[in-house]
Structure 1
Amino acid sequence: MSSTPIYYSKAEYIETDTGNKVSRRATISGPQNIILGGKTIICTGAIIRGDLRRVGPGHAVVISLGRYCLIGEGCVLRPPYKTYRGTFNYYPMKVGDHVHIGANSVVEAAAIGNHVEIGKNCVIGKFTMIKDCAKIADNTVIPPNTVIPALSSFSGSPGHFVEYLPESTQELVESSTKRYYNLFQPLDR
């Protein structure tokens, strides 16, 4: 990855007290049901559906994003759903720290661990569980209810195991997400 700054228009992004940078052209539905851990970037055209939630007390948080996450341009994050005993419900989605989701990916996972890379144009099926330090290649389709093991790489349509990743994956992804965040600079300071 280069060390060239990635410039954005300060007028286009809102920066929160915790360092989150959210594009004004992203769609954040139901923001009261979404938690951003800090230093997360949500790019132009991304859609996060916090308005789709279970009814009833104690079911407020629908989507939780950790620190140093990057939600690429045109991504869609929506909570997984199913009908159980005749009742239709949405379930929470938890995304860990240092997660990079590439442009135009659609994610309906139940949980995404820490230090995970999801490529561009991926489809992550409902209730998928992606463990820590996993990598999903560009254009991969992960079927619903799949469990992606830690330190593994998946690719294809449908997604299949390709190889195990090195133990250093955690450090590599963490330095990559921090570097990206630090290079993401306002053009008009």
Structure 2
Amino acid sequence: MEQPVVRYSRAEYIETETGNKVSRKSVICGSQNIILSGKTIIQTDCVIRGDLRRAGPSQAVVIAIGRYCLLGQRSIIRPPHKTYKGVFSYYPMKIGDHVMIGERSIVEAANIGSYVEIGRNCIIGRFAMIKDGCRIEDNTVIAPGTVVPSFSVYAGNPGRLVGELPECTQELYEARSKDAYQKFVPV
């Protein structure tokens, strides 16, 4: 499926040396604790909480986002947290390459693999793990701690397996994410 051309105001986005395009209207907290690998688009009103982290130098990077990712408008990315033996802590989050996160989705997963599509209005619970090559349908709630296996389609509240994807999914999602990046052009 070919992506439509999306035009944006050059003044509204910051483009980094590695090709990341970040909306000036997004909220990036603790940017020193966030790694963007390159050619990622962070759209308007996104919130990325890199300031929520464990104390100490060993936990410096809280959120790592791969190449060719697209974070939809008003999506929220924050690291998972838990209380263990009376101590409240945040844990690192890793998002792979070629991941598309839909508008108004909230992600608190421990790990999202590469070649993943998360629909609009989804909630990905704390410490969930989404393996490579998955699709999460619109309005899906993935319960905390859920492991979504590779090449699966989840939908519903709570999210359940509703289908499987072919092994060519990786090539399709890679082509789609690169196409979306190339068609995200300044006016």
Do these two structures clear the TM 0.5 threshold for a shared fold by scoring above it? yes
Q: Could you tell me which residue of structure 2 aligns to residue 46 of structure 1?
A: 46
C-alpha separation in 2, matches of 1:30 and 1:59:
13
The residue type paired with residue 129 of structure 2 is M
User: What residue is the counterpart of 2:155 in the other structure?
Assistant: 155
Quote the residue 2:26 is aligned against: 26
Q: What is the CA-CA distance between 1:140 and the residue it aligns to?
A: 0.2
Call closer, same or farther: CA 1:146–1:62 in 2, change over 3 Å.
Answer: same
Q: CA deviation at 1:132?
A: 0.1
Q: Residue type matched to 1:11 in 2?
A: A
The unaligned stretches of length 5 or more in structure 2 are: none
Matching residue of 2:182: 182
**What letter is aligned with 1:185?**
V
Unaligned runs of 5+ in 1: none
2:7 aligned partner: 7
RMSD: 0.7
CA distance, structure 1, for counterparts of residue 46 and residue 4 of structure 2: 24
Question: What percent identity do the matched residue pairs reach?
Answer: 61
Alignment of 1:130-149 (within 5 A): 130-149=130-149
Match of 1:167 in 2: 167
Number of aligned positions between the proteins: 187
Q: In 1, Cα distance between the equivalents of 2:21 and 2:3? A: 19
**Most deviating of 56-65 and 27-36:** 56-65
1:46 CA displacement: 0.2
**C-alpha separation between the residues in 2 aligned to 1:113 and 1:173?**
12
Q: Could you tell me how far apart the structure 2 residues matched to 1:32 and 1:23 are?
A: 17
Q: Give the whole-Å Cα distance in 1 for the aligned partners of 2:105 and 2:4.
A: 25
Partner of 1:104: 104
Q: Is the 8 A contact 2:96 2:112 kept in 1?
A: yes
Q: 1:60 maps to which residue?
A: 60
Deviation at 1:57, TM superposition (A): 2.1
Displacement, 1:2?
3.9
Compute the displacement of 1:24 (Å).
0.1
